[in-house]
Structure 1
Amino acid sequence: MTLPPLDGPPAGMSRREWREQQDPSVRAAVPENDVNPTAPASERLTILTVCTGNICRSPLAEVLLRQRLEPLGVRVHSAGTHALEGHGMPEEALELVTQGGADSAIALAHRARYLVEPYVADADLVLTMAREHRSAVVKMMPAALRRTFTLREFARLASTLSTEEARDAAQTDEGSRRDRFAAVLRAVGDQRGITPAPPEDDDVVDPYRRSRETYALSGAQLTPALSEVERIVRTAIR
């Protein structure tokens, strides 16, 4: 993805440190979406979607997942590793939101933001749009490795678990629904290496500044994977 020039940190300072110095608000808690409070706040799951600019793939995944999971009390938000901060979703991405039947008002209100450590720390599941974003998340917070997947990787691994197997995994933990969800994620993660695939098959193509056909391809790769995310979440928290 080719990005416009961005101001950056001085030598010897990380981008995250520079961002925090410029805007201390990034240290604040992750903003809440208006979700249906079907569970106490301490038990609400949080899913973070990540791409590069945070204007195409990750907000599309966010909006479509919010449509499916917010009624269950699941919070979904997104960020970008090199976000076009403050920018909205391009017309082509907004069209995909409409085609997916999601709330266009939510998509229109989206503004890109940088990925920062508190967002990762707060998330029960991090879904990245490509392997490079997964690497960036894990580099930022190595402890997030077991709960960070590319979206298509997660769908591929989850598809090898039946709903009954996922439910059994959830029932091995008698704690909160966040604990049950973590148990199911471990079962999904255990499929790594067992169900190999060409590495590029785990990426959602980046459509930024490309044709509508490329946007359509990106959406076609992204949208079916969300069904597996929804299935695993519903199975884990019920």
Structure 2
Amino acid sequence: MTTRHILTWSPAAIVFDCDGTLVDTERHWQDARIRVFGEFGLKPRPGFAERARGVHYTECGSLMAREAGKPQLADDMAQALLRHFMAFVAEDPVTMPGAAALVRLAAGHVPLAVASNCPLDVVEFCLARVGLRSYFAHVVVAGDGLLPKPHPDVYATAVRLCSVRPEEAMAVEDSVTGVESARRAGMRVLGVGPRPAEEGAGRADLWLRTLAEPELQAWAHAWAGGAG
């Protein structure tokens, strides 16, 4: 069961997921997946969009190929997925509701980082396109020895770079995969967006529909105003 106890606490650092949390990219990933399936003349099984949510794009390519019965196309589908995604972001960069305001407020008071399953150039590109890159001291992505979410590596590394203990930091996530990663890293977790149906959604301290929720904005102003 979720609790609003997290909104009575002041984090020493905040680590955000990027896709679907800061930047409205999930629709671009979905459009890219649809485009790739069409390019290859294939169709996903029902419920694929939810299964693909938060999954590293290379793993998503493998998932797409397996579910379409063409596992030999995994690499080709992954590369096509990334290519189409980047094009969609370039055409239509949009932040998630409340994300920009929360980031700008928090950046003046605590260290901020991003932890993502996407390649570094993709995350940097997305953040730059929506004008948020300069607010983050650290961007940590899977690869170079760091396992992707749901492994804790990217969150654990981001917290370490922010020079705080995991229990002092808050993760902001939109997927069960990300929530599990942050929990394994020892962090408190705020879930944002439609609450997933999977059982793992309960691992978040609280789910809110958007980062623009009045209670979240009031909380952020309260602790940021009192921060040293």
TM-score greater than 0.5 by the shorter chain: no
TM-score interval (norm. to shorter): 0.3 to 0.5
- TM-score normalised to the size of structure 1? 0.36
